[in-house]
Structure 1
Amino acid sequence: MQNKNKTVVKSLTILNLFRIHSRLTLNEIIHLTEIPKTSAHRMIGSLSEMGFLTKDSDGYYSLGLLFLEFGHLVAERMDLRKIAKPHMEALRDEVNEAVNLTMRDGDEAVYLEKVDTDHPVRLFTKVGRRSPLYTGACSRIILAYTDEKEQEAYLQNMELKSFGTKTIVDKDVLMDILRQSRLNGFAISYSELENSTVSIAAPIFNLSGQVIGGLSVAGPELRFSKERITELVKKVKQTANNISKELGYNKQLM
């Protein structure tokens, strides 16, 4: 473990050089970091293979395009949270239920933001919480709008486990629900992550028309009658659409 940590530290030392220098040769990197030539050569090779560094025809190294991708992801997540927050607060004030914002991170959804209700009986969800994409409306709505081939690959490699009394663990049933959610424009879950709870979620899209998040209203099942669910679906979908528009999404152009 110690050796791995040292390797990571040395690799980051190399990458940090490019915060100041736009281009460096192998010898310049060795001189600036004082890392032995053999180790430096091995680390630079690994960083290049993974896309963190790129080498030009003159033998100079610079940061790879992977950092551009990371930069876009960080900016997108910050923008989504900032833009969504006022809409979430307005929805919370209107329906007096907790409102959650999720975003995909690998095979999971991470909760980026939450605005809570003042109800004494409520659903507690922390920012930073993670859940599998297949369970819970606010996670599953992201999966529903993911490319079908990617969905299939995800489900082939994922073992479906129960978290609540009604977690969906049958892959055929799950695929049907994903298709129906995409057709309806929303997802709903009952007791999937927490027992006796309901969550209603709609997708959020970016400028390119890609799903980048989910917005949900969630709370104890006792407050979610069929009549109220119908009304909440409309409000959640409208709020998610408003956020998408502010992010630059235009359905008519897609």
Structure 2
Amino acid sequence: MESVSKQQAPTQRSDAAEASETGGVRSVQRAMDILSLLTETRPVVSIREIVEATGLAKTTVIRLVQTLEQAGLLWATDKGYTAGPGLWRWAHLAKRAWELPPETQQIMRDLAARQRETVNLYVARDIYRVCVAQQESPQPLRHVVQVGDELPMWAGASSKVLLRDATPALLTRVARSSPYGESHVDTLRGWVDAVLTTGYATSAGEREAGLSAVAVPVTGRSVAVVAALSLSGPTIRFTDDRIAEFVDDLKRVAARMSERGFDHPLATV
């Protein structure tokens, strides 16, 4: 027993030091970086591509890839490595946990069909907002983000809505993450006050030039904001009259979603 303790101690100290320096375990982060290289447009990656993308030594990449392969998270092919069967099981679990109920999805589809703009549903994750559901606009020129994408909270109509109940400490942290620094907190407070007064938020070119959005809160049983429902698209189509129409429709849909109850891993009710 004594010899085991002596062998484990350096490893424990190393892990703690590594975590304190990086905010997480470095080897785990490196493994996640490798998995994140896999996309719909790049379903297979080679060792050389991983080395070039991560900047890691080839020997380190090989060790990490072998570990991921043993865990079933990567699968070796003639052209390189692709997603392994272990991820398939996790994908099914994630789908069950994250996918919205069919009736809620139908409400969003109907909204996109009526207003002909992209419908997004965001929830807050610390200083980010995560897109948890989307219905694309039927128009050729449209705004689309991927479900699961994390966007910053320092700008955008949905961010303003999600920050409605934010603490001063969170507003400060969001401001510090912005290109404007901590002075941006005054702007954030102004946005929050506006949402409290009007019940909705708008944005035009705040994060992407030529992109506008309108968002309203989806609330839980405690009337706290649990999600932001938005319509987004090219700024040229977001005229004052259309924005007023969007707000009315969004509020009606959000009220229905709030009445039905909004259950999601990132939403606190």
**Normalising by structure 1, what TM-score?**
0.61
**What does residue range 208-219 of structure 1 map to in structure 2 within 5 Å?**
208-219=222-233
**Quick one: structure 1 residues 205 and 75, their matched pair in 2 at CA, closer, same or farther if it must change by over 3 Å?**
farther
Deviations along 1:11-59, one digit per CA (max 9) or x if unpaired, are xxxxxxxxxxxxxxxxxxxxxxxxxxxxxxxxxxxxxxxxxxxxxxxxx
Note the C-alpha offset of 1:230: 0.9
Could you tell me which residue of structure 2 aligns to residue 87 of structure 1? 107
Could you tell me which residue of structure 2 aligns to residue 29 of structure 1? none
Which of the residues 126, 134, 139 maps onto 1:106?
Answer: 126
Counterpart CA distance in 2 for 1:133 and 1:117 is 23
Note the C-alpha offset of 1:131: 1.5
Q: Which amino acid aligns with 1:197?
A: L
The answer to whether the 8 A contact 1:187-1:202 is kept is yes
The answer to whether the 8 A contact 2:160-2:191 is kept is no
Note the C-alpha offset of 1:83: 4.9
Q: Which amino acid aligns with 1:125?
A: V
Note the C-alpha offset of 1:139: 2.2
Q: Which runs of 5+ in 2 are unaligned?
A: 1-10, 16-24, 29-93, 263-269
Do residues 157 (structure 1) and 177 (structure 2) align?
no
Matched residues, percent identical? Answer: 26
Deviations along 1:100-128, one digit per CA (max 9) or x if unpaired, are 00011122110001100121111121111
Q: Which runs of 5+ in 1 are unaligned?
A: 9-73, 249-254
The answer to whether the 8 A contact 1:83-1:246 is kept is no
**Quick one: structure 1 residues 78 and 124, their matched pair in 2 at CA, closer, same or farther if it must change by over 3 Å?**
closer
Could you tell me which residue of structure 2 aligns to residue 238 of structure 1? 252
The answer to whether the 8 A contact 1:134-1:143 is kept is no
SS at match of 1:126: coil
**Quick one: structure 1 residues 143 and 82, their matched pair in 2 at CA, closer, same or farther if it must change by over 3 Å?**
farther
Could you tell me which residue of structure 1 aligns to residue 39 of structure 2? none
The answer to whether the 8 A contact 2:211-2:233 is kept is yes
Q: Which amino acid aligns with 1:105?
A: R
**Normalising by structure 2, what TM-score?**
0.58
The answer to whether the 8 A contact 1:201-1:214 is kept is yes
